[in-house]
Amino acid sequence: MQNATDLAKHPYVAPSEKENTDFENLEAAGDAYVAQMTTIYLQANQTDFHILPSCNATKCTASGAFINDDGVTLDLTQRNTYAFTYEHDALAAGVSPVSMTVTIKTTGLKAMINANDLLNKIEIYDATAFGMDLATGATYSVAVNFVDTKKTAQSLGDAKWSD
Amino acid sequence: MDAVHADGTLELDAHSLYGTMEVHNTHNWFKDTQKQRTMIISRSSYAGMGKYGSRWLGDNFSSDAYMAYSVTGVMGNNIAGITLAGSDICGFIGNTNADLCARWYTLGAYYPFSRNHNAWNNAPQEPWEFAKDIVPNTSTTMLDVIQSAMYRKLHMIRYLYTQMSIIQQEGGSYFRPLFYDFPNEEGAYEGQELNVMLGPSLKLAILSGERADTTDFWFPEGRWCDVYCRAGAEADCCITGTTGGMKKSLQTLFPW
C-alpha cells in the first residue's frame, strides 16, 4: 500500500452535526486514510461509530442507527437494529465534559450475527473544541449500565483519551 | 395512445410500464419462490420501479462534462425513488484516459451503485490498465488512486447498508441535493454537481467536472469535519458554516 501522503487529495466528506455514522476503521495500520479491505474482512471486524455532536447551552448530543444482518435473510426479525444516542455536558470552551453517555437500544434478533455486532471504538470529531484534552492524557472511568435494572452496572476500568 | 392491447388494456395505461412490470415480476418471483433478495438493474423504468430494482444512467460519454452530469443524474433517480443508482464510471462511449478514470472512480465510490462499464471497441478501462500511469510529481499510480476510492466505499459500506435498509422499509433518498436537508439556505440550490448529501449524516464536497486547483463548495450552517482528516491540527479538519451557510474554497482532486 502506498504511503498516504503520496495519495491524491481526497474528497471532503463531512459528518452532519447530531448524526452518528457507522464506519469501518478509517485509520487502519499502514495507512492513515484507508485500509485494504475486502467484504470478508468487513464481516470479521467490529464496528466504529463516528460522532459529531451538536450543542446547546447545556449539552451536546447526537443520534444514529446501525442495521446488521446476514445480507441474505428476507425476515426483518432476523437482523439487529441499533438505535443509539450520545450526549455529553456542554461546559465552557476547553473544559472537559464531566460525563459522556452512549445509549444503545437493540431490536431484532438480539444475538450475534457476525463481528459487526461488536463495538470497536467511538470516534468523536472536533474533540479539542469540546474540551476533550488530548495533551494531558487524562483518564476517565467507563462503565456499562443496563436498562434492565436486575443487572448490575459493569465497570470497564479507566480509559484514556487517544488521538 | 388509443391503441388497445390484446387483453383490452389501453396503450395509454400501459405505455412505459413494461420495464417496471418486468422488474416487479422478476423481483417477486425470486422473493416468493426462491426466498432470495434481488439485485436487478433495469434501463427502462417508470414511477415505482425503485421499490423492486435499481438503475444506471444509460450510455454516457467519457468526458468531464458527463462525469459532472452524473451527480445530478443520480440525484434525480433518488428524488424519483430509485435509490440504488449510478452512472458508468470512466464513461461508456469513447475512449477514457487514466486521469479521467481515476477521478471518476473517486467520485463513483460515493454513488449508491458503483460500476465501471465500457462500450465495445473502446480503449480498455479496467483499473489495472492504469497501473503504469503516474500521478504527476508523485510515486502514486492511477491504479493506487482507484484502489483508494474502492476502499473508501468499503469504509462506508455499513453506513450505506444501514441507510439503504431504512429507505427500503420507510422510503426516502440517499444521494440527494443539499436543499432536501437545508431547504431554507439559498446556497443549497446551487452547485448541485459539487455538493451532495449522502443520507442524513454525511455531506460530500467533490470536484465532478473539469480539473481545478481549488473549488468553492457550499457548507450549510453548522460545524463540518473531514472524516479523512487525520494529520495536522484538529482545527484544520473542521470548518464552521455560518448562519445561512457559506461557500468554502477547498483544494480539490489532483491539484497539479
In a domain, B229, yes or no: yes
Q: Nearest CA of chain B to the CA of A151: how many Å?
A: 30
In a domain, A131, yes or no: yes
In a domain, B184, yes or no: no
pLDDT digit string, tens, across residues A102-137: 999 999 998 999 999 998 888 888 888 888 866 666
Is residue A29 pLDDT above 70, yes or no? no
Q: Which chain B residue's Cα is nearest to A13?
A: B204
Q: Exposed e or buried b for every residue in A105-140, given b needs 16+ CB within 10 A?
A: eeebbeeebbebbeeeeebbbbbbbbbbeeeeeeee
What's the predicted TM-score (pTM) here? 0.89
Report CA Rg, chain B: 20
Closest CA to A51 of A71, A22, A8, A73: A22
Number of domains in chain B: 1
Residue type (1 letter), B215: T
In a domain, A158, yes or no: no
Q: What per-residue confidence (pLDDT) applies to B211?
A: 84
Q: Which residues pair with B246 in a beta bridge?
A: B219
CA atoms within 13 A of residue B165's CA, in its CB half-sphere: 22
> How far is Cα A156 from Cα A126, in angstroms, rounded to an integer?
25
Say whether residue A135 is in contact with chain B using an 8 A CB cutoff. no
Mean predicted lDDT score pLDDT of chain B: 90
Partner-chain contact B155 A37, CB within 8 Å: yes
Q: Is the dihedral of CA A92, A94, A97, A103 positive or negative?
A: positive
In a domain, B179, yes or no: no
> How far is Cα B25 from Cα A92, in angstroms, rounded to an integer?
60
Residue type (1 letter), B135: V
Number of domains in chain A: 1
Partner-chain contact A66 B162, CB within 8 Å: yes
- Provide the residue range defining the domain that includes B226: 193-207+217-250
pLDDT digit string, tens, across residues B203-234: 999 989 988 888 899 999 988 888 887 655 55
Confidence at A36, pLDDT banded by 50, 70, 90: low
Question: What CA–CA distances, in Å, run from B68 to A26, A127, B202?
Answer: 27, 35, 20
DSSP assignment string, A123-141: EETTTTTTT--TTTT-EEE
In a domain, B245, yes or no: yes
- Provide the residue range defining the domain that includes A78: 4-135
Is residue A71 pLDDT above 60, yes or no? yes
**CATH code of A67's domain:** 2.60.40
Confidence at A31, pLDDT banded by 50, 70, 90: very low
pLDDT digit string, tens, across residues B17-44: 889 999 999 999 999 999 999 999 998 8
Partner-chain contact A7 B154, CB within 8 Å: no
Q: Which residue bears the cell 459529531?
A: A52
Report CA Rg, chain A: 18
Q: Return the ∠ at Cα A53 (arms to A50 and A54), rounded to 5°.
A: 150
Q: What is the mean pLDDT of residues A83-105?
A: 86
Q: What per-residue confidence (pLDDT) applies to A163?
A: 57
- B68, B41 Cβ separation under 8 angstroms: no
> How far is Cα B228 from Cα B166, in angstroms, rounded to an integer?
25
**Of residues A35 and A162, more confidently modeled:** A162
Q: Which residue bears the cell 470512466?
A: B90
| Secondary structure class of A156 (helix, strand, coil) | strand
DSSP tag of B145: H
Residue ranges, chain B, pLDDT below 50: 254-256
In a domain, A149, yes or no: no
In a domain, A12, yes or no: yes
In a domain, B122, yes or no: no
**Of residues A92 and B150, more confidently modeled:** B150
In a domain, B241, yes or no: yes
In a domain, B228, yes or no: yes
User: Looking at the predicted complex, does its ipTM rise above 0.85?
Assistant: yes
Question: Testing the interface with B: which of A16, A26, A74 to mutate, by most B Cβ within 10 A?
Answer: A16
